[in-house]
Amino acid sequence: MDAKDILGLPKNSFPSSADKKPRPPKESQRKPDGISREVYALTGRMPPLMPSIDASQLKKKHPPHEKITWQWLPFTNSARKDDLHLYHWVRVVNGVPPTGDYSFAKYNKSVDIIKYTDEEYEKHLTDPMWTKEETNELFDLCGRFDLRFVVIADRFPSSRTVEELKDRYYSVSQAILIARAASSGDVATHPLIKEPYNVSQEMERKRALSMVLSQTRQQERKDEEVLVEAKRIAELRMASKVTEQPQLVVASNADAEVTERAVPGETISPSNVQPPSMVVPSATDNASTLASLRMLRVYLRTYALDQMVQASNSSAGLRTIKRVEQTLQDLGVNLKPRVPTKAVCAEHLELRREILTWLNLQKQVQYKEAEGSSFRDGSYGETPGTPKDRTFIPDSMNFGDIHKTVVSSERVGKKDQKRKAHGGPPTSAHKRPRKQKASDL
């Protein structure tokens, strides 16, 4: 209620009852055709954009000349090692039962685990960290659980981390493969050899992942800020990198901001042309403009001046720029110097900067004067800054007590209205409401 009051919204007292009556008749009118009401409701009460499949197409049409029966028949599963006979319903066509293996047998896939002999173990696979029993156990589990190391780690008798188990398994497999191969070239393409398991890397990776996962929101935000900062610094550094690699400068767009007079030569495009985009993202830094100019082999003074002027203008809006130019004209200064020597260009730039400063200061004066007038009138809402100060002071007295702050804010509203009526210096009016408040406590 209060919120609506403040926002100035009209209070709709009976919106719901007005809607209820027209709604039910509307709903019953729209009876979906072909699908049930509930399903239609799932699609958001809209017909689908794509024509749905005609339901009649879904029904399989029986080939008329075939005779279909269903029979309860026994079957065997080649995936099983025992000789289990089970029964199930079978679709028999014209008295001929279907042939072939159990249809799900093909899904019984397993991983090929390398099996080593004791001799091989003695020769290649001994390891100070692992006993033979442990290694055997590991390989047995690997076979049983198809290299699902999480399960294997769980079932492993002694407590070993997943990384340790993986490391042992892969290094053993590698050693065996190499030992059994005729030459090292044969197995070089084997995935186990080509990409060996790196324990430390894996542990580090998992640690980093868990860190990222467990980061609090605040940390995330901080990290983002740091990254953005780093990116900016990297860009600045890129911009001020000098002749170390003159040929590899950023891709050349044709310089759109050509002055009437001249543009740097473009026969070898990459280094010499300075795209305006280089200047802008570097936070309109004059230093970066200077740096990018220095990267050119040759340029005209007027071009350099134009770039610097743009850089200093980029921080100002279009209106301000026009005002600067108007001021220059009023002062009798050429917008583009007639004799653009180094000294003249420098002076010109300085003058432009000083004019910008002057204009900004003028704006400041306007703001300050506006502030000042609100102080004097004491009218609520004229400028955002000051009334808050007023209302804040009384509020702080009732800080702990919610009810009282509500009451006091209403009181404050009335206070301000009283002040408006007075219009004069606020001191006397101010004191009376304060006294009321004190009695509240």
- Pick from 21, 81, 85, 338 the residue near other proteins by CB under 8 A: 338
- Closest-CA residue to 403 (of 433, 431, 441, 430): 441
Residues with Cβ < 8 Å from 160, sequence gap 6 or more? 153
For tokens 């804040």, what's the residue? 392
Q: What separation, in Å, do the N-terminal and C-terminal C-alpha atoms of the chain show?
A: 27
Q: Which is nearer to other proteins, 141 or 308 (CB)?
A: 308
Which of the residues 183 through 242 are near other proteins (CB under 8 A)? 240-242
From the CB of 366, what's the least distance to other proteins, in Å?
10
- Give how far the C-alpha of residue 245 lies from the chain's centroid of Cα atoms, to the nearest Å: 34
* CA pair distance 125, 129, nearest whole angstrom: 11
Task: Output the six-digit token pair for 73.
Answer: 């028949």
From the CB of 313, what's the least distance to other proteins, in Å?
16
Which of the residues 341 through 400 are near other proteins (CB under 8 A)? 341-351, 354-355, 357-358, 361-362, 364-365, 368-369, 371-372, 375-376
From the CB of 344, what's the least distance to other proteins, in Å?
5
From the CB of 334, what's the least distance to other proteins, in Å?
7
* Phi, psi of 173, deg, nearest 5: -60, -45
- Pick from 133, 220, 223, 266 the residue near other proteins by CB under 8 A: 266
> Does 326 sit near other proteins (CB under 8 A)?
no
Distances (CA, A) of 167 to 130, 180, 188, 234: 11, 20, 19, 39
Distances (CA, A) of 361 to 88, 177, 232, 304: 92, 80, 29, 28
From the CB of 413, what's the least distance to other proteins, in Å?
19
Q: Which is nearer to other proteins, 141 or 345 (CB)?
A: 345
Question: Contact region for other proteins (CB under 8 A) — 96-104, 212-220, 293-301, 395-403?
Answer: 293-301
* CA pair distance 287, 240, nearest whole angstrom: 8
- Pick from 30, 261, 414, 420 the residue near other proteins by CB under 8 A: 261
Q: Which is nearer to other proteins, 174 or 272 (CB)?
A: 272
The size of the interface with other proteins (CB under 8 A), counted in residues, is: 69
Q: Which is nearer to other proteins, 206 or 297 (CB)?
A: 297
Mind giving me the DSSP string for 215-232? --HHHHHHHHHHHHHHHH
Distances (CA, A) of 119 to 116, 124, 130: 8, 9, 16
Residues making contact with other proteins (CB under 8 A): 240-243, 260-268, 271-272, 286-288, 290-291, 293-294, 296-302, 304, 308, 327-328, 331-334, 337-351, 354-355, 357-358, 361-362, 364-365, 368-369, 371-372, 375-376, 426-427, 430
